[in-house]
Amino acid sequence: MRAYIIKRLISLVPVVFGITILTFILIHMVPVDPAHAYMTATNTPPTERAVAAVRAEFGLDRPLPEQYFTWLGKALRLDLGKSYVSQEPVLEELKHSFPSTLLLTLAAVGWLILLALPLGFLSAVFKDSIVDHLSRAFTFVAASAPPFWLGFLLIELFALKLGLLPVMGKGSWQHLILPSLTLALNYAASYTRLLRSGILENLKQPFILYARARGLKQKLVIGKHALKNALLPVVNAFGMSFGYMLAGSVIVENIFAWPGLGRLITESIFNRDYPMIQGYVALMAVVFVLSNLLADIASAIIDPRIRIGDDRVGV
Amino acid sequence: MRKIRFLLSGLLVFAMLSGLLAACGKQPAGDGGAQNAPASEKVLTISSTNDIGTLNPHQYNSEMFAQDFVYENLLKYGKDGKIEPCLAETWEISPDGKVYTFHLRKGVKFSDGSDFNAEIVKKNYDAVLKARDQHSWLELVNQMDRTEAVDGSTFKIYFKNPYYPALQELTLIRPMRILGAAGFLEDGDTSKDIKAPIGTGPWVLSEHKKGEYATFIRNDNYWGEKPRLSKVIVKVIPDGETAAAALEKGEIDMIYGSGVISIDTFRELSKSGRFTTLTSDPMTTRVIGINSNRGAAKDLSVRMALQYAVDKDSIVENILYGTEKRADTLFAENFPYCKLGLEARGYDAEKAGKLLEDAGWKLQPGKDYREKDGKALELDLCFIAADSVDRSIAEAIQADCKKVGIKVNLVGEEEDSFYQRQKNGDFGMIFGESWGAPYDPHSLVSSFREPSHFDYQAQLGLPMKKAIDETIGKVLISTDESSRQKMYDYILRTLHEQGVYLPISYRTNMAVFRKNVTGVTFATTNEIPLVNVDINQQ
C-alpha cells in the first residue's frame, strides 16, 4: 500500500512536467501579446516604447524554450514568478485564494453528502414511492439548472425575499451557505441518481438473494451489502468531481463575490497573465492527481477485492 | 459493517471539519454595511468590480477611484476643463512655455503626519521620470526634462518643448500623484512597489482584505474640506447583478460608475422607487471607427453613407433607454477647443442610398446588397462578444445598413482578440471610446499618431493623414490660444468630413444609492467624489 502511494506520488512529477509544457505551448499559441494584454488590463494606452519595455521586463523578448526553462528552473525552487498584473508573487496569490476555494468546495461536499446520500438511498429503498418521485423531480431540476441562474434564484429567495442569508461576500458561516449550495446542487443531482441506480442494481444481485435467504435483517442487507457496493462508483466519480469543483467554482465565485481561485484564474486568463496561468495549472494538476489517488484508496478500503499495488488492503 | 461505520464516520468528520472551517472563517471586522455601525460613525459602503489593488500612485494596477481617494496632484480638473489649484496654490509659465513654476500650498500634511514640500514633489516626479518608457503614452512625461525644488514651497518643471496640456495632465490620477516619504521603499523605485499608501488626500486606507473589501477612514490631517463620512467601505463585487441584489438587501449603500450594472438593471432599480438614481453629463463618446484603409470603406462615399444610414436616436431610445445622449461629433462640445459647430448628421436612409448610388454602388435586381465592379458592399463590424450593449448596437447597425444595401458582418470576440484588431487594423468598423476628461481632446488626439491605436489604423487611408499628424505635433506644443484653436479646428473638422468616426452616444456615469445618502456628484470619468456625501444613519 505504502509503496503504491509513493509510486503514485512519484508519477506526479512527469504529469505536472508534461502539463506545464502543454500549457506553455497552448498559451503561446493564442494570438495575443501578453504585453498588450497587460496594458489593456492596467488601462494604459499602449505605445511601442511601453510595449517594448514591458516585453523586456517580463522576458517575453527571449526565445520560447529559454522562457520555459527559466520558468521551470525557478518553479523547481518553488518560485513561480510574479503575476504580470498585480506584481505579487504567483505563489502568494495562489496561497491567498486557494483556502477560500477549498473552504467553498468542502462545504459543497458537505451539501453533497447531506443531499445525495439520503436522497439516493431512500429513493432506491422506496422505489416508485412518493419519496422516489420527489427525489427524481429534485434531480431533474438541480441537474439542468445552470449555476449562474440557480445562484441568482437562491439569492432572490433566501437573501432578498426571506432575508435569511447575506447576498454576497465572505465572512460568517452564513455567507458560505448559498455559494456552496449552488456549487453542490449540480453534482448532488447526479450523485443521487448514481447511488440510486447502484443500490437497485446491487439489490438484484445473487448475493443479496443469498443474504436474504440467510435470514439477515433488511437493514443489514441494504446497509451492508447493497449500499456498500453502490458507493464504489460514487466514490470513484467523486475523486474527479472534487477536482472539478475546486477548479470550476468560477461562476459561483463571480456571482457571490467569493474571493477564490476561480476569480483569480479567469482574470489571469483574460489578462494573459502567463505566470499565473502556469502556476494555477500546475497546482490543479497536483490537486487532480491527489484527489484521484484518495478516491482509489477509499474504494480499496470499501471493496477489498480491488487491489492497489501488490497489496491487499483494508482486511 | 465495521468498514461502513469507518467510512461514514470519516464522512461525518469531513462534514464537521468543513463546518468548523466555515466558523473559523468568520470575519467580524469590516463586514456588514452601514446597518451595524455604531451611531457616532457615518459609514458608506460602495461596490467595486475589482479589488482596489496595490494603491501605488505611480503604477497602473490599482482602481483609479481608490488612488484618487488617497493621493493628490498639484492641480485639479474642475468643471468644463477649468484647471483649479490643489497641492499647488498658484503657478506661472515662462514666456517660452518651457518652465513651469508652482507655489505649493503651505501647512499640508500627509496622512502619517509628515510635511508636504517641494522636496517630496521632486522625489515623486523623479521616480516617475526614471521609468519613462513605461509612461510613454503620456506626453507630459515625454516632454518633461527635469525638475527642481527651489525652496520648501517652490517647485519648477523644465520641459523640452512648450507643451500646453501640461496643466491638464498634472491633474491626472496617475502616474504623477504624490506619495509621502515614508511610503517609498529604500531604493526609491516606485516602478516596483511601495511600502505603504501614504497620501495627502481626504481618505486613508485602514484595512484591506484582497479580493473582499477595503476600508478607508477620513484623513484627519486633510487640508481641504473634511469629508462628512467617517468611513468608506469598498466591497469587491465582480457581477453587476449581485451588486444590485446587495444594494437591495442593504449590504451596500451605493453603486457608482459607468457599465458597473447593466442598463436594464439601472432601469429596474430606478423604477422600484426605493433608490435615488443619477446620470452625469457626457463623460466619453461611444464611437465606431471606420477603417479608411481597408475594403469598401476606403471609399469616402461609403463612410459618409454609413453616417446617415444608422438611426442613432432609435439606438439611444431602445437600447440605451435614454441613459446616454445621442452623439454627432467625436468629442462633446463641452470639452476644451471642441465647440466647432460641426454638422450633426441625422438618420436619412434616402440620402445614404443616394450617396452610394452616385458613387457607383448599385443594387442589382433580386439582390439585397449593393455591388460595384462585381464586388459586394460589405464590412466587418467588430465588438466584444460579452458586451451586451455593444452587441445590441451592432445588431441595430447591421439592420439599418441592410436597408440601404450595405452588408455588415458582425464579428463578436473575446476581449483581447478584439483589442488586437484595434491595434493591427484588422477591421472594417470597430467599437471604440474616447478617453474623457482630462484626456480629451489633447491626449486622444495625440494618440492618433500611435500605430497601436485603432484611430491611427482607421485614419491610415486618408490622403491627408500626414498633414493631420503634423498638425497634431504642432498643436501640442503651441503657445498661442488662437492658432491652437485653429489647428484643433483643422484636425477635428477634417476627421469629421472624412467620416472616419461614427459617433453613437455620449456615455455617462451612473449612480444608484439608498434614499438616506445625500450629496452624490460626478467629477471626471474615473473619480468617485465622496467629500460632500453624507449618510443619514437609520
Nearest residue in B to A160, CA atom = B249
Report helix angle B240-249 to B263-271, nearest 10.
Answer: 20
Q: Under an 8 A CB cutoff, do A301 and B3 touch?
A: yes
Q: Facing residues of B535 across strands? A: B517
What is the length of chain A? 315
Confidence of residue B34 (pLDDT cuts 50, 70, 90): very low
Residue type at position B285: T
Q: Could you give phi then psi for residue B16, rounded to 5 degrees?
A: -65, -40
Helices (H) and strands (E) in chain B, counts: 16, 23
User: A80-84, A309-313, B326-330: which has the highest mean pLDDT?
Assistant: B326-330
Residue B407: the pLDDT is: 95
For residues B254 and B515, what is the distance between their CA atoms, to the nearest angstrom? 10
Q: Which residues of A touch B452 (CB under 8 A)?
A: 36, 46-48, 51
Confidence of residue B538 (pLDDT cuts 50, 70, 90): low
DSSP B420-471: HHHHHT--SEEEEE---TTTTTHHHHHHTT-TTSHHHHHHTT-TTHHHHHHH
Q: If you average pLDDT over residues A285-300, what whole number do you get?
A: 84
Residue B184 has pLDDT above 90, yes or no: yes
Nearest residue in A to B17, CA atom = A106
Q: If you average pLDDT over residues B108-134, what whole number do you get?
A: 94
pTM for the whole structure: 0.85
Q: Does the complex come out with an ipTM higher than 0.90?
A: no
The count of other CB atoms within 10 Å of the CB of residue B94 is: 13
Residue B17: the pLDDT is: 45
Burial pattern B517-528, b for ≥16 Cβ within 10 A else e, equals beebebbbbbbb
Instruction: Work out the minimum CA distance from A172 to partner chain B, whole angstroms.
Output: 4
B423 closest CB neighbour out of A30, A46, A255: A46
Q: Under an 8 A CB cutoff, do B420 and A52 touch?
A: no
Q: What is the pLDDT of residues A136-150, one digit of tens each?
A: 999 999 889 888 899
For residues B502 and B505, what is the distance between their CA atoms, to the nearest angstrom? 10
* Element housing A133 (H / E): helix A130-144
B238 closest CB neighbour out of A87, A257, A314: A257
A36 closest CB neighbour out of B53, B420, B447: B420
Portion 169-208 of A in contact with B at CB < 8 A: 169-173, 176
Q: What is the pLDDT of residues A262-291, one digit of tens each?
A: 888 888 888 888 889 989 988 888 888 888
Q: Which residues of A touch B443 (CB under 8 A)?
A: 45
Portion 101-160 of A in contact with B at CB < 8 A: 103, 106-107, 109-110, 113-114, 152, 155-156, 159-160
Residue B222: the pLDDT is: 94
Q: Under an 8 A CB cutoff, do B238 and A263 touch?
A: yes
Q: Could you give phi then psi for residue B285, rounded to 5 degrees?
A: -110, 130
Q: Facing residues of A302 across strands? A: none
Contact with chain B for residue A53, Cβ under 8 A: yes
Residue A236: the pLDDT is: 82
Burial pattern B57-79, b for ≥16 Cβ within 10 A else e, equals bbbbbbbbbbbbbbbbbbbbbee
Q: Contact, B284 vs B330, CB < 8 A?
A: no
Residue A252 has pLDDT above 50, yes or no: yes
Query: What share of chain A has pLDDT > 70, as a percent?
Result: 97
Q: If you average pLDDT over residues A164-177, what whole number do you get?
A: 90
Residue B215 has pLDDT above 90, yes or no: yes
Q: What is the pLDDT of residues B423-447, one digit of tens each?
A: 889 999 999 999 988 888 998 998 8
Portion 4-23 of A in contact with B at CB < 8 A: none
Residue A249 has pLDDT above 90, yes or no: no
Which residue, among A172, A227, A245, would best test binding to B if mutated, counting the most B CBs under 10 Å from its CB? A172
DSSP-based three-state secondary structure for A28? helix
For residues B217 and B214, what is the distance between their CA atoms, to the nearest angstrom? 10
* Element housing B209 (H / E): strand B203-209
Residue B305: the pLDDT is: 95
Which of B269-275's residues contact partners 24+ apart within 8 Å by CB, and which partners?
A: B269/B244, B269/B512, B270/B512, B274/B248, B274/B514, B274/B515, B275/B247, B275/B512, B275/B513, B275/B514, B275/B515
| Of residues A175, A145, A142, the one with CA closest to residue A158 | A175
Classify burial at A64, counting beta carbons within 10 Å of its beta carbon; exposed 0-12, middle 13-18, buried 19 or more. Answer: exposed
| Of residues A295, A302, A300, the one with CA closest to residue A311 | A300
Helices (H) and strands (E) in chain A, counts: 14, 0
Q: If you average pLDDT over residues A217-231, what whole number do you get?
A: 82
Q: What is the pLDDT of residues B404-422, one digit of tens each?
A: 999 999 999 988 789 889 8
For residues B189 and B173, what is the distance between their CA atoms, to the nearest angstrom? 19
Residue A119 has pLDDT above 60, yes or no: yes
| ∠ CA B53-B56-B62, rounded to 5° | 30
Nearest residue in A to B211, CA atom = A259
Query: What share of chain B has pLDDT > 90, as a percent?
Result: 71
Cα B520 off chain centre by:
19
Nearest residue in A to B21, CA atom = A103
Instruction: Work out the minimum CA distance from B461 to partner chain A, whole angstroms.
Output: 21
Residue B427: the pLDDT is: 95
The chain-wide mean pLDDT, for chain A, equals 86
Q: What is the pLDDT of residues B463-492, one digit of tens each?
A: 999 999 999 999 988 888 899 999 999 999
Query: What share of chain B has pLDDT > 70, as a percent?
Result: 93
Residue B368 has pLDDT above 60, yes or no: yes
Q: What is the pLDDT of residues A9-63, one digit of tens each?
A: 888 888 888 988 998 888 888 777 788 888 877 777 777 888 888 888 888 888 8
Classify burial at B278, counting beta carbons within 10 Å of its beta carbon; exposed 0-12, middle 13-18, buried 19 or more. Answer: middle
The count of other CB atoms within 10 Å of the CB of residue B185 is: 12
- The CATH H-level (homologous superfamily) assignment of domain A91-259 is MetI-like (1.10.3720.10)
For residues A269 and A272, what is the distance between their CA atoms, to the nearest angstrom? 5
Domain boundaries, chain A: 91-259
Q: Under an 8 A CB cutoff, do A103 and B210 touch?
A: no
Q: Which residues of A touch B416 (CB under 8 A)?
A: 30, 32, 36-37, 40, 270, 272
Residue A104 has pLDDT above 60, yes or no: yes
Q: What is the pLDDT of residues B148-180, one digit of tens each?
A: 999 999 999 999 999 989 999 999 998 999 999
For residues B372 and B144, what is the distance between their CA atoms, to the nearest angstrom? 52
Q: Under an 8 A CB cutoff, do B21 and A160 touch?
A: no
Instruction: Work out the minimum CA distance from A110 to partner chain B, whole angstroms.
Output: 5
Please report the sign of the dihedral spanned by the C-alpha atoms of residue B58, residue B64, residue B68, residue B73: positive
**Cell 471609399 belongs to which residue?**
B299
Q: Facing residues of B147 across strands? A: B157
A40 closest CB neighbour out of B192, B242, B416: B416
Q: If you average pLDDT over residues A85-94, what whole number do you get?
A: 88
For residues A89 and B374, what is the distance between their CA atoms, to the nearest angstrom? 58
Residue B456 has pLDDT above 90, yes or no: yes
Per DSSP bridges, beta strands B43-48 and B231-236 are parallel
Nearest residue in A to B235, CA atom = A169
